[in-house]
Chains A and B, each alone.
Chain A
Amino acid sequence: MKEEIKQDLIGREYTTLNLGPTHPATHGIFQNVLKMDGEIIIESTPTIGYIHRAFEKLAERRPYGQITTITDRLNYCSSPINNMGWHMTVEKLAGIKLPKRVEYLRVIIMELARIADHIICNSVIGVDSGAMTGFLYVFQFREHIYEIYEEICGARITTNIGRIGGLERDFSQTAWLKIEKLLKELPKGLKEFEDLLIRNRIFMDRTINCGPISAEMALAYSFTGPNLRAAGIDYDVRVMNPYSSYEEFDFMIPLGTNGDTYDRFMVREQEMKESMSIIKQAMQKLDKLEDKTSYNAEVPEFYLPPKNEVYNEMEALIWHFKIIMAETSVPKGEVYHCVEGANGELGYYLISDGGRTPYRLHIRRPCFIYYQAYSEMIKGAYLSDAILTMSSMNVIAGELDA
């Protein structure tokens, strides 16, 4: 395709089209200056950084517990995964071992977040290919998931779920009921959504072979997450480097073959079903556990004591003060911990010099790394396909620009 265009276009005039930074179809703040021949893209120059917020610098000035709030705002479609990833990084550094129950609870939250993120991404693919209805159908389920978050932690998007060393509180009875309700209703809703799209001629024509990427290219550009799996490489951090007891769960990694928009869509659809199965398994495992109450590890130097103890006991008061003032001792060292974020491997590389704040925190943001292949992927494609490719890649501006 590319070669044909080169030969065909010798001596022609090109138009320059500025796509972004505030284009309604880009779902975020990216700029692409496109060199176009008619409707075909010859070259694109991406500019990013329009919401650069200096997370890494900010993290150098914040105590460990307070960094959770900034991880929320990385990939804001699935903040709980970012929160948990950060907590696990610090836990790894400090060598904290969590009770099984906490790990299962975390798994439930993380999988809910994955479902919410995939719902947004897939329904937006629908919107961009001209099918608004699907978006309105499945968005109510995302709303249900947000209600579950609210029940667990009180917030909808910037969840700040959990603390270093566990969760802030146990799931309430209502939260469990809501999770059960979601698990019952979501498959029906997804079926409806899929019936609208996956065998729909228009949708198939729009998405099959749109923005394909080969497995080699995807590896070279360090793709991770559903985008890599759609290209046919079965890399999933949950399986390769299990964290939070993922090794005990039985789930499949859906794979695509062409790495095009349709495959990415299908991989995400399938992953949502796997996530539901993981949540069910986690609930069964929780039922089997003898431990029915613990929601944190016994780490007084990281985990805030309950308020009534703070008011009544000397030691709890001291720990409370030390944690809030960030005077607890953190071991020196460097760790890299990664979790399977909703759009790829989300890694935290933390260097601690024993001080109250990290010496350096580098965040491996999956979409920052794979978005650089975008200009390569849309070369020779139509403009409308480029829009669809972008929404199917699940690029989140907050994470991209950090």
Chain B
Amino acid sequence: MFNTIEPEAFFEQLKTQFAEKILLVEKHYDVTVAEVSHDVIKNVILFLKEQGFQFLTSCNGLHLPAAEKKFGMIYHLHDFKRNLRIRIKTFTQNDPPHFPTLTDIFPAANWMEREAYDFFGFRFDGHPNLHRILNEDSMEGWPLRKEYPLEDQARFDKDDKMFGR
């Protein structure tokens, strides 16, 4: 289990810095999670980096078709010195969603953001090379959005009678 030493202090600071832009701070399972307003996400991550969160573990997209704010980005940051992990979330309702790029803060974000673009169609403003990474450029649609069908549409051997669908 993760060793979480008092991350509350950070979030107090974070709250004084960004006030009402921090929508939610809670401890969920073993990490502290903060939900941040969409317009300050980059500033929050810059602030956290200055505070010692030097390592971007991962970032990924999320699609919530039922929610009011449909699209989200989730960032996992890690502070090696204090061995502290936090998760930052941000949501937006625009389609296509725009997020600021983190490539100038963490070079590692480059491909992860391209992956989020490939899967969800998120636009990262200021990204140096934003095009599909895993699928072909000619592909249409955003495969990890909930409405996109998983199965290959060209299969002809799947008889509905046999599969009971």
Determine whether A and B are in direct contact in the complex, meaning some CB atoms lie less than 8 angstroms apart: yes
Question: B-contacting residues of A (Cβ < 8 Å)?
Answer: 48-49, 52, 54, 56-58, 60-61, 92-93, 219-222, 233, 235, 240-241, 243, 333-336, 338, 345, 347, 349, 351, 360, 362, 364, 368-369, 371-373, 401-402
Name B56's contact: one of A49, A222, A347 (CB within 8 Å). Answer: A222
Count of A-B contacts judged by CB separation below 8 Å = 92
Q: Does B29 contact A (CB under 8 A)?
A: yes
Q: Are B119 and A56 in contact (CB under 8 A)?
A: yes
Distance, CA A48 to CA B114, complexed state (A) = 12
Could you write out 8 A-B pairs with CB less than 8 Å apart? A49-B136, A220-B107, A222-B55, A241-B85, A333-B28, A333-B29, A349-B60, A349-B76
Given contacts A57-B144, A220-B106, A334-B28, are A347 and B111 in contact (CB under 8 A)? Answer: no
Given contacts A56-B144, A336-B76, A372-B108, are A345 and B29 in contact (CB under 8 A)? Answer: no
Name A222's contact: one of B1, B106, B134 (CB within 8 Å). Answer: B106
Count of chain B residues with Cβ under 8 Å from any Cβ of A? 39
Q: Does B47 contact A (CB under 8 A)?
A: no
What residues of A have a CB within 8 angstroms of the CB of B112 in the complex? 369
What residues of B have a CB within 8 angstroms of the CB of A48 in the complex? 133-134
Name A57's contact: one of B29, B57, B150 (CB within 8 Å). Answer: B150
Q: Are B83 and A369 in contact (CB under 8 A)?
A: no
- Closest residue of chain A to B115 (Cβ to Cβ) is A368
Given contacts A49-B133, A349-B60, are A241 and B29 in contact (CB under 8 A)? Answer: no
Q: Are B83 and A364 in contact (CB under 8 A)?
A: no
Give the distance to chain A from B92, nearest Cβ to Cβ, in Å.
Answer: 17
Per-residue contact bits, chain B 121-155, to A (CB 8 Å; 1 contact, 0 not): 00000000000111110000001100010100000
Q: Are B150 and A61 in contact (CB under 8 A)?
A: yes
Give the distance to chain B from A333, nearest Cβ to Cβ, in Å.
Answer: 6
A57, A240, A402 pick with most chain B CB within 10 angstroms: A57
Given contacts A336-B87, A345-B57, are A241 and B106 in contact (CB under 8 A)? Answer: no
- Closest residue of chain B to A221 (Cβ to Cβ) is B108
